[in-house]
């Protein structure tokens, strides 16, 4: 399941609404802030990206705005493994 987030970035959106999170790749991020700028609930996604931490935030809608707008592909949906062990 670990590859799901990479190969199904578009369609996966609905699948992860309840069980996914936005995960940054800091090496791709240049801190431009487009993600934070476009977040409808004002989460500082950029700060998460700097720290390399997934956006685990009670207000996150997993709406996908930040993932779609990032010009450098620094954000992706990743399935959380609350009930299953990670494979990688």
Partner 1 sequence: MKRVIVGAGVAGIAAIEAIRSLDSIGEIVMVGDDPHGYYSRPGLAYYLTGELHDKTLYPRASEDYRKLNFRYVKGRVKNILRDAHVLELENGPSISYDKLLIAVGAQAAPLEIPGATLDGVLKLDHMEDAKRILKQARRGKTAIVVGGGITALELTEGLLSRGMNVHYLLRGDRYWSGVLDDQESRIVEGRLQEVGVTLHHRAEAIEILGRKNRVIGVRLRDGRVMKCDLVAYAIGIHPRVELARQAGLAVDRGILVNEHLQTNDVNIFAAGDVAQVYDPSTGRSALDSLWSSAREQGYAAGLNMAGKATVYVKSIPFNVTRLAGLTTTIIGAVGAGDDKDLVGIARGDSETWRQLPDAMVAQSGFDVNRVRLLLGEKRLLGAVVMGDQKLSYPLEKIVSESVDISPIREELLSPQARIGDVIAKFWASMRN
Q: b/e string for 42-59 if b means 16 or more Cβ within 10 A?
A: ebebbebbeeeebbeeee
Binding to partner 1 by residue 28, rule CB under 8 A?
A: yes
Nearer to partner 1, 37 or 41 (CB): 37
Binding to partner 1 by residue 40, rule CB under 8 A?
A: no
- Residue among 16, 25, 35 nearest 79 (CA): 16
Binding to partner 1 by residue 76, rule CB under 8 A?
A: yes
**Cα(75)–Cα(71) distance, integer angstroms:** 10
Nearer to partner 1, 85 or 87 (CB): 87
Nearer to partner 1, 14 or 72 (CB): 72
Least gap, CB of 35 to partner 1 (angstroms): 10
Least gap, CB of 10 to partner 1 (angstroms): 10
Binding to partner 1 by residue 13, rule CB under 8 A?
A: no
Going from the C-alpha of 72 to that of each of 4, 12, 24, 42, the distances in angstroms are 19, 19, 11, 20
């Amino acid at each position: 399941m670990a590859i799901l987030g990479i190969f199904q970035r578009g369609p996966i959106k609905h699948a992860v609404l309840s069980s996914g999170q936005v995960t940054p790749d800091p090496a791709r991020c240049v801190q431009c802030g487009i993600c934070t700028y476009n977040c409808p609930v004002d989460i500082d996604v950029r700060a998460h990206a700097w720290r390399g931490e997934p956006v685990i935030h009670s207000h996150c809608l997993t709406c996908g705005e930040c993932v779609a707008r990032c010009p450098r592909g620094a954000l992706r949906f990743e399935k959380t493994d609350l009930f299953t062990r990670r494979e990688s």
